[in-house]
Amino acid sequence: MKQTSINIRGLRKSFGKGADVKEVLKGIDLSIESGQIIGYIGPNGAGKSTTVKILCGILTSFDGDIEVMGIPLRNNAIEVKRKIGYVPENGALYEALTPVEYLHLVGTLFDMSPLLIEERTNSLLKYFEMSQHANQRMDTFSKGMKQKILIIAGLINNPDILFLDEPLSGLDANSVILVKDMLTRLAKQGKTIFYSSHLMDVVEKISDRIILIDNGQVIADGTFEELQQDSKASLEQVFAKLTGGEERVGESGILDEVFKN
Ligand SMILES: Nc1ncnc2c1ncn2[C@@H]1O[C@H](COP(=O)(O)OP(=O)(O)OP(=O)(O)O)[C@@H](O)[C@H]1O
């Protein structure tokens, strides 16, 4: 029987105070099963990163009820963090460290034994073709190399749920294939992948379920085929249709005006 890994009821989140208060999440209800790849998509500013940060226990003030792996998130963020991995959009690495040193630090925070940290570090560096850079300071790394280390750090504790916020940024085509393969394998092992990205072609291909949010609310939720509604539309076209992107294209006439001289 499938297990519910994430259960969200009536999630609301506001930023600011008084007259400047802005409600960013406006009542989100979701139930997510283990072993699925969830593509969480939406326009810029829709509330994707905010949702992920709440689910990972980083933003602790919110309204509503959330359970992660059966644990009520409120007041139990540390316990939840032990069971999840998080690959942030713009993660800060300690760049004066080498990958081996950094991953040792992260593994130690999870109370892992030095031997287990070393084994996982070596295997994951090998998978991401980074073994030859294991002892090189990360301030010499390219964006994509740093991104690979962030992904490895998100996996080091063997999490039940992996949250990824735009994980493919900076990765070359071969590395994108590696990450897609990795996510599919992890889901087959029963892990939940909760994945936010603007790369519609990737989301379309790898997601078991796609959740589209706009303006803090879920506006579509289903498999890619369900979202297509018997059309042959790509996910990019479905996205544009549901979020009003098609109409905005007309405003590109502004550019002709700006650059007419
Ligand atoms: N700490 C904060 N203080 C005030 N407003 C915030 C804060 N964090 C996010 N917001 C606002 O919340 C809204 C949702 O932001 P969020 O980062 O969740 O969007 P997103 O869907 O991840 O967007 P993008 O696709 O551009 O990454 C935006 O209007 C943003 O300005």
pLDDT in tens, 10-28: 999 999 988 899 999 999 9
Residues with Cβ within 6 A of ligand 1?
15, 24, 42, 44-50
Give me ligand 1 centre to Cα 45, in Å: 5
Say yes or no: ipTM exceeds 0.90. yes
CB 142 within 8 A of CB 172: no
**Mean pLDDT value of segment 79-104:** 91
Identify the band that residue 258 occupies on the pLDDT scale cut at 50, 70 and 90.
confident
Residues forming a β-bridge with 11 = 28
Give me ligand 1 centre to Cα 214, in Å: 12
Q: What is the pLDDT of residue 249?
A: 60
Atom of ligand 1 nearest to the CA of 53: 18
Q: What is the pLDDT of residue 248?
A: 63
**CA-closest residue to ligand 1 atom 4:** 15
- DSSP-derived secondary structure letter, 171: -
- CA neighbours closer than 13 Å in the CB half-sphere of residue 31: 4
Atom of ligand 1 nearest to the CA of 43: 25
92, exposed or middle or buried, with CB in 10 Å at 0-12, 13-18, 19+? exposed
Give me ligand 1 centre to Cα 75, in Å: 24
Q: What is the pLDDT of residue 245?
A: 73
- DSSP-derived secondary structure letter, 91: P
Pocket test for ligand 1, best of 48, 54, 166 (most atoms within 8 A of CB): 48
**Mean pLDDT value of segment 104-129:** 96
- How distant, in Å, are the alpha carbons of 6, 64, 110, 116, 176 from that of 60? 16, 12, 20, 31, 32
38, exposed or middle or buried, with CB in 10 Å at 0-12, 13-18, 19+? buried
Please state the φ and ψ torsions of residue 216, each to the nearest 5 degrees.
Answer: 80, 10
